[in-house]
Amino acid sequence: MLDRTYGEARSTMYASSNKEKFHRSGPPRSKQRIRRYNGLCGKLREAPDGRLISSKDVAPTMPRGSRDLYDEVEAYYRHNSAAARQILSTIARLSDEVRKGNAGRPVRIMNFCGTHEWTTTHYGIRSLIPKGVELISGPGCPVCVTPASYVDLCIKLSLEGVRVYTYGDAFKLPTTRRVKGARSLEEAKSLGGDVAVVYSFLDAMKDAKSSSKKGVFLGIGFETTMPSYSEPIDRKVVPKNLFLLSALRLTPPAATFALEKVGKVDGVIAPGHVSVITGASAWAAIADELHIPTVISGFEPIDVLISIAGLLRQMANGEHKVEIEYKRAVSWKGNERAMSTMHRVFETVDSAWRGIGIIPRSGLELREEHSAQDAKKEFGLAEEEADSWRDDLPKRCRCGEVTLGLIKPTECSLFLRACNPERPYGPCMVSSEGTCAVWARYGGGGLADRVAAEVGVNL
């Protein structure tokens, strides 16, 4: 159960936000709005020290279809500076306690979600927390780890008249060599290839139903997107001329692999949207077997700060368990129906992660009873041997090391030189969730240091 660290932060968060709301427009007047307001925030009362505090110390639940309450929830987690200041004060205090107990060694916290890295970098969270707390990005970008051979096949098929459906994030994903003159699906389309950028698998299904052409969907994603594939395949409503090229990957096995590769990591911020599907239980092995404190976090800046404070509290108390900060969406068991359907449709296999290699039981392939929808069997994509994945990145690209948290993007000589968001050279610069792309757009923790070193200034 989350203790006072979370309760104090949330009480301050709701109270200060509502106090500002009172000053701005007064308390809600209608009985209906009062009930909705109190249901969301908890009834306010004045503490002995004069602070307004809320009777609720858990995350509010947003009633379905209520846009104004959605805006209020967003305000609590994104714009509440009073709460942020208190949480940062707690982080500073707890980090001092933790570092005193480990001889001053920096505290290293790894996230496993590109959206968490986006939040951390976009809102400058690294600049707000003590320098003794290091935030490391992990393998949280599904586009970044999609093997080059999958892109090769899609380029080839698109130029041979097969319609290739892809997410926008993967449209510019570069391969390691030119296939019929193209290094990406974007280039293939410019050469006359049949490439369609879609928002979802369902969009591809609608298009395929109206066409007689064979189509391939480049199925990239983690657990969050898997139900969008497994549900229609399980219900047998996918058009017979549409095939799935499964590049689906499982996050917990990769997280364990990365933690073992990186070495000393003191805490883990686990992805909230993945955990909505898998449940918090999927991360128990990290806490129970690796003895690393883990907090499942939401994606707003206040969420991330609360999660950092919760990890530091566990470290200070000598604990290692899984806690849920993102209670407004995540449960311990997750979406059991979605997981059951996923297991009926897919089987777990050893899979390649681009720039990293083969990670045991980290991917999903269609089961034999659904092989009629399998693009690998329809078009003959053979899985390569483990040794061949060593050359899965362009020359001098260090995306594999960035993905595992072994280096920062600024330690790659190509970063913002030969490789940038407009002309991505490596896969980590393509997706909005790629660490290199995030750092290039918003500036990461090492960008200022590199510039300072180049001009001879000590920060």
β 163-166/133-137 pair status: unpaired
Q: Are 316 and 132 in contact (CB under 8 A)?
A: no
Q: Are 136 and 162 in contact (CB under 8 A)?
A: no
Q: Are 445 and 411 in contact (CB under 8 A)?
A: no
Determine the Cα–Cα distance for residues 119 and 3; give it in Å rounded to an integer.
24
Q: CB of 354 within 8 A of CB of 319?
A: no
CB-CB neighbours of 286 under 10 Å: 23
Residue whose C-alpha is closest to residue 315's, from 124, 168, 101, 112 = 101
CATH numbers and ranges of domains, the chain: 4-79 (no CATH), 106-140+252-324 (3.40.50.11750), 148-250+335-391 (3.40.50.11740), 401-455 (no CATH)
- Of the candidates 175, 160, 137, 209, which has an alpha carbon nearest to the alpha carbon of residue 446? 137
Taking Cα atoms as reference points, which of 431, 370, 443, 375 lies closest to residue 403?
Answer: 431
Map residue 110 onto helix, strand or coil. strand
Q: Give exposure, 77-102, as e/b (b: 16+ Cβ within 10 Å).
A: beebeebbebbbebbbebbeebbeee
* DSSP state letter for 5: H
Q: How far apart are CA 176 and CA 148, in angstroms?
A: 7
Residue given tokens 């060593």 in the structure block: 390
Which strands sit side by side in the sheet containing 195-197, from one edge to the other? 195-197, 163-166, 215-221, 242-248
**The two structure tokens encoding residue 31:** 């009985």
Q: Is 76 left (phi over 0), alpha (psi -120 to 50) or beta?
A: alpha
| CB of 209 closer than 8 Å to CB of 239 | yes
Q: How far apart are CA 304 and CA 325, in angstroms?
A: 9
Tens place of pLDDT per residue across the chain (459 aa)? 344 444 444 444 433 344 333 333 333 334 444 344 344 444 434 444 433 344 444 444 444 455 566 677 677 788 888 899 999 999 999 999 999 988 889 999 999 999 999 999 999 999 999 999 999 999 999 999 999 999 999 999 999 999 999 999 999 999 999 999 999 999 999 999 999 999 999 999 999 999 999 999 999 999 999 999 999 999 999 999 999 999 999 999 999 999 998 888 999 999 999 999 999 999 999 999 999 999 999 999 999 999 999 999 999 999 999 999 999 999 999 999 999 999 999 999 999 999 999 999 999 999 999 999 999 999 987 766 666 666 789 999 999 999 999 999 999 999 999 999 999 999 999 999 999 999 999 986 555 565 556 555 554
CA 332 to CA 324: how far, in whole Å?
8
415, β-bridge pairs: 419
Extract the tokens encoding 242.
């549409």
